[in-house]
Amino acid sequence: MSSPRIVIHVDLDYFFAQCEEKRNPNLKGKPVVVCVYSGRTSESGAVSTANYNARSFGVKSGMPIFQAKRILRDKDAAFLPVDKPYYQEISSRIMALLRGHADKFEQVGIDEAFLDVSAQSHGDFATAKKLASELKSRVYEQEGITSSVGSGPNKLVAKIASDQQKPNGLTTVAPDSILDFLAPLEVRRIVGIGKKTEQILQGIGVKTIADLRAVPAERLRELFGRTFGAYLFDAARGIDDEPVVERDEREQISRIVTLKRNSRSPEEIFPEISKLIDDVVSKAADKGLAFKTISVIGIMEDLSTHSRSETFETPLDSAESSRRISRVLLENLLSGTTLEIRRIGVKLSNFASTGSTAKFQSTLKEFLG
Ligand code: TTP
Ligand code: MG
């Protein structure tokens, strides 16, 4: 029998806010809130992320800035605008370092990565634990950035593990402790379980992963369909065969056309988008790629560019869903401007290899409602 797979998941702590602390050490010890300012007033916009000091008062990602300001008044807090290029630089250096220590490497977003280390640790969990701890130290020594790291026999468990002791945590789950480790955790800790799935599960009295494990496969199938039901059944048992796959973050498939005449009418524009979507989705399928991000791009009558995109946790590959999503994106785009659209484009990016996408189609259904 081949030795067990070992996967490490690294998640950088309060990443944007920690980058700001790195740039300005005077911020350490103060609440730090990184904000996306919408520009309408000096306080309109939302919290991107906050350091743990700010979180201890209840500040969260997505919270309106004015609310965070109210919570932190008299706390000598720093409110800073997002500086993505700066965070991207730090992220790229850290990802390069991590990649150098993996048999196989998969970056997920700006501050997360999976490392398959099965071969170099000879399937031995104690060795993998040492490696995980060394990775944390190296990232800290090189960049001064702390991370939370988890290791386990697959991506599912490694990700749940890294989330277990934040910030600056290290959690190793050996194969013989998977079931006990997962049992008391809330079902939402499983990737792919969103609010809606959580609600349905609560409706049948399922709160923890142990509760989920007690639900018969057939019942899950009835509730969630064959593929997502099977996924949940396996996930409750810590079973996951998703490989760690290198993704080319730069890769994208896009197409753009000029409309017959400038327009703001979805009825007029959407048929064009629909054709473009069919084309790019079939190109992606030819390459064996599923995608997590769909964008709709409009070049307006004054030649300015407006775009809207949506990123999903799990990859999709269906033209029909993509058309429905792009319709919503088009409407969002139009609502953000009074200009007419001159050229319209679509873009797929954030690719993963296909093969494992089918089981997530129900998650997508949840999203679309
Ligand atoms: P996360 O890893 O989800 O969050 P985090 O790194 O800030 O905190 P944690 O210690 O819990 O890992 O997201 C990574 C970055 O993505 C985060 O620093 C800022 C950005 N982000 C947003 O802009 N909006 C959001 O709603 C979330 C969740 C993250
Ligand atoms: Mg993080």
What integer pLDDT is reported at residue 246 of this predicted model? 83
- Report the alpha-carbon distance of residue 297 to residue 38 in Å, rounded: 20
What integer pLDDT is reported at residue 12 of this predicted model? 98
Region 308-326: mean pLDDT is 91
What integer pLDDT is reported at residue 248 of this predicted model? 64
> 44 CA distance to ligand 2 centroid (A)?
24
Q: Are 129 and 172 in contact (CB under 8 A)?
A: yes
Closest residue CA from atom 26 of ligand 1: 61
- Catalytic hit among 20, 21, 106, 112: 112
Residue (of 11, 7, 247, 8) closest to 112 by Cα position? 11
> 115 CA distance to ligand 2 centroid (A)?
16
What integer pLDDT is reported at residue 259 of this predicted model? 94
What integer pLDDT is reported at residue 31 of this predicted model? 98
Specify the ligand 1 atom closest to the Cα of 111.
14
Q: Are 199 and 368 in contact (CB under 8 A)?
A: no
pLDDT tens for 336-357 read 999 999 999 999 998 876 544 4
pLDDT tens for 76-98 read 999 999 998 999 999 999 999 99
What integer pLDDT is reported at residue 29 of this predicted model? 93
Where does the pLDDT of residue 361 fall: very low under 50, low under 70, confident under 90, or very high at 90 and above? very low
Closest residue CA from atom 22 of ligand 1: 48
What integer pLDDT is reported at residue 251 of this predicted model? 78
The pair of structure tokens assigned to 180 is: 């006990």
Region 316-323: mean pLDDT is 93
pLDDT tens for 190-213 read 999 999 999 999 999 999 999 999
- Report the alpha-carbon distance of residue 350 to residue 311 in Å, rounded: 8
Region 93-120: mean pLDDT is 94
Region 7-28: mean pLDDT is 97
Does residue 317 sit in helix, strand or coil?
A: coil
Q: For residue 30, is it left (φ>0), alpha (ψ between -120 and 50) or beta?
A: beta
Handedness of CA 341, 84, 26, 170 (dihedral sign): positive
Cα distances (angstroms) measured from residue 362 to each of 232, 310, 341: 11, 17, 33
Beta-carbon neighbours within 5 Å of ion ligand 2:
11-12, 15, 111
Region 64-75: mean pLDDT is 96
Task: Name the average pLDDT for the chain.
Answer: 92
> 25 CA distance to ligand 1 centroid (A)?
20
Region 232-247: mean pLDDT is 93
Q: Name the helix (H) or strand (E) containing 79.
A: strand 78-81
Residue 178 sits at the vertex; the CA angle it makes with 174 and 182, to the nearest 5 degrees, is: 140
Token pair 């005449």 is found at: 261
| The pLDDT of residue 359 is above 70 | no
- The phi, psi pair for 310, rounded to 5°, reads -135, 135
- Report the alpha-carbon distance of residue 224 to residue 189 in Å, rounded: 18
% of the chain beyond a pLDDT of 70 = 94
What integer pLDDT is reported at residue 249 of this predicted model? 57
- 186 as an active site residue: the answer is no
Region 296-314: mean pLDDT is 91
Does residue 64 sit in helix, strand or coil?
A: strand
- Report the alpha-carbon distance of residue 367 to residue 369 in Å, rounded: 5
Residue (of 274, 358, 359) closest to 322 by Cα position? 274
- Comparing 35-44, 47-56, 71-80, 106-115, the range with the smallest average pLDDT is 35-44
| The pLDDT of residue 247 is above 90 | no
- The phi, psi pair for 4, rounded to 5°, reads -65, 155
Specify the ligand 1 atom closest to the Cα of 62.
26
Q: Are 209 and 187 in contact (CB under 8 A)?
A: yes
**DSSP calls for 238-299:** T---PPP----TT-EEEEEEEEEEEE--HHHHHHHHHHHHHHHHHHHHHTTEEEEEEEEEEE
> 111 CA distance to ligand 2 centroid (A)?
6
- Report the alpha-carbon distance of residue 51 to residue 57 in Å, rounded: 11
Q: Are 220 and 229 in contact (CB under 8 A)?
A: yes
